[in-house]
Amino acid sequence: MAAAACAAECGLRVGLVDDNPSLGGQIWRSESSNPAESHQQQNNHQNPDAAKWIQRTRLSGVTTVCGLRVVHQPEAGVLIGESINGLSELRYDKLVLATGARERFLPFPGWTLPNVMGAGGLQAMVKAGLPIRGKRVVVAGTGPLLLAVAAYLRKHGAEIPLICEQASWGSLSTFCLALLQWPAKLVQGFQLKLSLAGVPFAANTWVVAANGQQALESVDISRAGRVENIPCDYLACGFHLVPNIELPSLLGCAIDNGCVQVDDFQNTTVASVFCAGEPTSVGGVELAIIEGQIAGLAAAGRATEARAFFAKLEKARRFAQLLDSTFRLRSELRNLPLPETMVCRCEDVPYSRLQQHTSWRSAKLHTRCGMGPCQGRVCGPATEFLFNWNPDSVRPPVFPARVETLATVSEHSDLQHSEVMGGH
């Protein structure tokens, strides 16, 4: 939204394509895309940032298309998108990619039980109407997201018996002292602390198993070297975010250390293609908005105006680096899976079968790990952490697509091929 609004305000003809039913992504998922409702929310001081950017996007004249997912790039300057209504061909002169991130799941015994969820996933379901009042929810993993999710769930009536943070108390103390450089973040942290008053918090603590017959009944946690059992209805796990780099990779954008390479103006290594937000580095909503504004202005040729954001960008990136160093996943988490623990839940591939291989490609060819409906989006980051594997390539379609979509893409490719051959 930030990139689209800035580019449109510079006079460009801008289209915003979002694969969600409405604008806002995960952070602002509960915000309405209905103008009247958004105005009412703004009047009620509910998430003013969301209301501001939704309104700014509309007023700038951006053409918004929701519920459309890009699955293929048949040629430079053309994308194929799929929705419930069929296919769309998107042609562009400049492209800003803001594909966001997804949650990292780490396998442990019982992690496939119903009601064991990603922290953001459970929050999204509650935003969509899942009743949580009176339910016991253990929140576990690492990073400030745990506190934000716990506070949201508690506000909606959930009981939080424990927040499990795998980072050490020493790392957390250093992090809190460093927050003096970011007073606004310090205030946010203090507000979260107030909203979670009375909720137990444990550092050096992580889930080692989820227990239950038909659904989750309790979790076993490791706290200070001792295993404890906690009865609960839900487990919300958050082990960092993974940048969604599949589409940038398909377009040929260079990737470095799991993120899209960009310059100061958010240019990728592909001409006329920019990237902003979590795909360039996981740093939160503030960093994403700054990068989006720079990308939108740069796409419009407003380099001087884009430079005005560089100081804020540098400060936001330093905070992202602080988060990364503070909440780095500890090596003990690699020892959680048992031989029979499923790692690829799409294709039922256990940990023991993956241990026989030395690369992602070998495991994929011999076990079908990563070849199910999620296309490696869950097991890929898990095996990257467990075995230090990296996916070898990205092939279209970027997401699972309908047969008619694949047929249309194939026909488009055949047509392009025949035109090239005819030219020769």
- Mean pLDDT in the chain? 90
Rounded to two decimals, the pTM is: 0.88
Other beta carbons within 10 Å of 22: 16
Distances from the Cα of 413 to the Cα of 79, 217, 407, 410, angstroms:
12, 51, 10, 5
Contact partners, residue 13, CB within 8 Å, separation at least 6: 63
266: exposed, middle or buried (C-beta count within 10 Å: 0-12, 13-18, 19+)?
buried
- The predicted pLDDT at position 106 comes to 96
- The predicted pLDDT at position 402 comes to 87
Q: Which CATH architecture describes the domain 105-239?
A: 3-Layer(bba) Sandwich (3.50)
In tens, the pLDDT along 139-149 reads: 999 999 999 99
In tens, the pLDDT along 191-241 reads: 999 999 999 999 999 999 999 999 999 999 999 889 999 999 999 999 999
> What does CATH list as the number for 2-101+242-324?
3.50.50.60
- The predicted pLDDT at position 39 comes to 45
Q: Give the position of tokens 């958010």.
A: 266
Is 90 exceeded by the pLDDT of residue 36? no
Q: What mean pLDDT is predicted for residues 354-359?
A: 96
Q: Token digits for 39?
A: 């105005």
Is 60 exceeded by the pLDDT of residue 37? no
